[in-house]
Amino acid sequence: MHVRRWFGSAVVAALLASCSGPGGSVEECIGSYSGTYAGDASGTISATLDMDRELEVSLVSSDGDETTADFTVTSSNTLSRDRGRLDLSGTFDEGACSISGDWTLSSESGTYSLEKVE
């Protein structure tokens, strides 16, 4: 009886762990992201994260202007800019497969949030 109860508890724990969120590792978070940015300007932000932790980002303003830049997600889960005039600072959350922080483009700035597209 005790073995069956322990086994049942282990199965429930495993199921709950698998439902805790979309991520848990960078590998599980690879794919497309979408979200919004706001502040001195606003619009949509999208990104693609690849296996090498490279993040291609695109901001589209409410006027339709698009700005792109490349970043690397560092081993400490922060962003490092590779090229482009857009600057993002922030944190990559492996558990939630999300990225959020601050953006700067020329003299404008604000905050952004990205969630993985399932």
* Amino acid at the residue 97: C
The whole-model pTM stands at 0.78
Q: Residue holding tokens 């805790």? A: 20
Q: Give φ, ψ of 32 to 5 degrees.
A: -95, 145
What pLDDT, on the 0 to 100 scale, is given for residue 118?
81
Percent of the chain with pLDDT over 70: 79
| Rounded Cα gap, residues 14 and 8, in angstroms | 10
At 3-31, the pLDDT tens digits run 454 444 443 333 333 334 456 788 899 99
Give the residue among 72, 35, 66, 34 at the shortest CA–CA distance from 50: 72
In sequence order, the β-bridge partners of residue 61 are 43
Q: Residue holding tokens 């952004």? A: 112
Give pairs for 82-85: CB < 8 Å, separation 24+.
82/54, 84/57
